[in-house]
Amino acid sequence: MDPSISEIAKKIGKDRGIPVEAKKIGNAYYLYKDTTRWDKENKKRVRVSEYIGRINENGLVEKNKRSIYEFGNSLLLLSVIRDIVPELKRYFPDHYKEIVAMSMIRAQDNKPIRYMKSAWEKLYASTQIDASLSENTISEKLRVIGSDIVSQTRFFQSLTTNGDRILFDLSSIFSQSENINLAEKGHNPKHLHLDQINFALVFSGKRHKPVILEVLPGSVRDYKAFDSIMERYDIRECIIIADRGLASYDMPERNGIYLIVAIRRNFSIDMPMDRSFIFRNRGINAGMKDLGEKILYMYEDTPLRSEEETNLIRKLESGEIDQKYLMEEKRKLGKFAILSNMRSDPKEIYELYKSREEVEVAFDAMKNELENDKAYIHTTDGLRGYFFISFISLYMYFSIHQVLKDKDLSQKMSVKEVLFELSKVYVIVNGARRTMAEIPERSRKIAEIFGLKLYPKILWS
C-alpha cells in the first residue's frame, strides 16, 4: 500500500467520522466504509464493507450516489447459492465475492463483461458485497481464478456425493484466439474445420443441478474424454448424453458408463412402435429393439409427423417433389432413434435425452457472449476462469428451474422471466434507512412461489 494513499484514507475517515479501509485492486485504490452489523438470523456481528469511491493522490473520487436498488432478484439469486457460498469462500478466499457477483449478473442478463460493473451497481446485493468489477480488474480476476485448477477441482468435489447418478453432456464451442492453447482441431457435429474447445457439463441425477464443468482439449473425442473425469472425481456410475455428432457409435467398455446418443435421421429402420406416452403435451409413440450389446430405441413425435407431412404435401403441389418421393419419406416422418447400452423403459431414455435441451438453451447465451468477451479473455487461464463463472451462473439457473419444475410451472414461466419480474421489487436507501417500494402483484406471487420474504435485510454475511 502506498503510504501517501494510507494517509489520505485516514484523513478522509477522520473528517467524516467513519472507519474506512483502502484497498488496492489492479493498479488503482478504492475506499470502503468498514463497519459491522448485527445479523439477527445468525445472532452475531458481521463485517460490512460499503464502497465509497476511488482514491488517488489528490483525494477521493466519489461514485455517483444511487438510492434505489433491485432487491427481489438479488434475494432469489443469493438464496439459491447459499449452500455453496461457504465452499467458494473456502477455496477462493480472495475472489469469491467477484465470483458471486459476476455469476449473479450472468444468470440474470448474461451481460458482456464491459457492462458488468454498471449492472452490478443496480443490485441491492452490491451494497453488501464489495466486489470489484471494473473492466481493468475483471480480466486479471478471471485469469487468476482460472489458473487455480486445484481449487476448482476441490470445489467441484464438494458438490459430488457418493451414490449419485451422474449425467454428462458433451458440447462444443469454437475459438479463433491463438493465445488459447486448448483450441485444437477436433471433430464436431457440424463438421466444421475450426479450432474448437470441448467442455463436459456434469449434472447430479438426484439434485438436477450441475456439479462439474470440465474444459477439455478440442482433439479429445467421444466418451473416452470422460474417463479421466470419472477417476478424478471418483465417479462410479454415469450416463453420457450426446448429440448426433459422435465420431462413432461404439459403446463404452468400462463398467458403470452408459451412453445415450441420437442416430442421424437419414436412417432406414422399420420396427414396431408398441408403446406410447405424453411428453410436454406431445404424443410420442415408442419402440425398442435388442441389438446385443446395444439397444435401439425408436420414437415418433406425432405432432412433428403431421407438420413434416404437411410440408412435403406443399412441396408436392408446387412440383418440388413427386408422389413416389413423398411415399418413400412418409415412413421417416416425425421419427428419430437413440442408440444406448442402457436397458430401460423407452420413456425414461427419451426424457434423459431431452433433458440436454435445457442445457443447450442455457449454454446458447454463454456461447454468444464468449464472442463479445474475447477482448477480455487473452489466455487459457482466462478462459477457464470465464467457464467457472458460467458454471456458477448455471448452478443458479438450474436451481431456480428445478423449483419451477417441482411446482409444475416450468412450462408457464422461464427462469429469465422469474428474475425479470423480481427485478421490479425495489429497495430505497436513504442513509441508514431502507424501505420497500410498492411491489407489483405478479412479482409478489412469484416471490411466494420461492418462499421469499420481501423486506430489506442483510443478504450477505
What strands lie across the sheet with 68-70, from one edge to the other? 68-70, 426-430, 433-436
The verdict on pTM exceeding 0.85 is no
Residue 30 neighbours by CB distance under 10 Å = 22
Percent helix, percent strand, percent coil in the chain, to nearest 5: 40, 25, 35
**Cell numbers representing residue 339 in the block:** 442408440
Closest-CA residue to 446 (of 457, 104, 208, 420): 420
Contacts of 165 (CB under 8 A, 6+ apart): 204, 205, 206, 237, 238, 239
Closest-CA residue to 101 (of 92, 330, 341, 307): 92
CA distances to 73, 235, 309, 424, 446 from 437, rounded to whole Å, are 14, 48, 54, 9, 17
Closest-CA residue to 291 (of 347, 247, 249): 249
In the prediction, which pLDDT does 33 show?
80
In the prediction, which pLDDT does 306 show?
95
pLDDT tens by residue, 244-277: 555 556 666 667 788 888 887 766 677 889 999 9
pLDDT mean by block of 10 residues, the chain; 461 residues = 82 83 78 74 71 77 75 95 95 95 90 86 90 84 93 93 71 53 57 61 83 73 68 82 63 76 75 91 94 92 94 94 90 90 93 79 67 74 89 93 90 90 92 86 95 78 59
In the prediction, which pLDDT does 423 show?
95
Question: Which residue, chain included where needed, has cell 412402435?
Answer: 273
Rounded CA separation 409/189 (Å)? 33
**Cell numbers representing residue 392 in the block:** 456458477
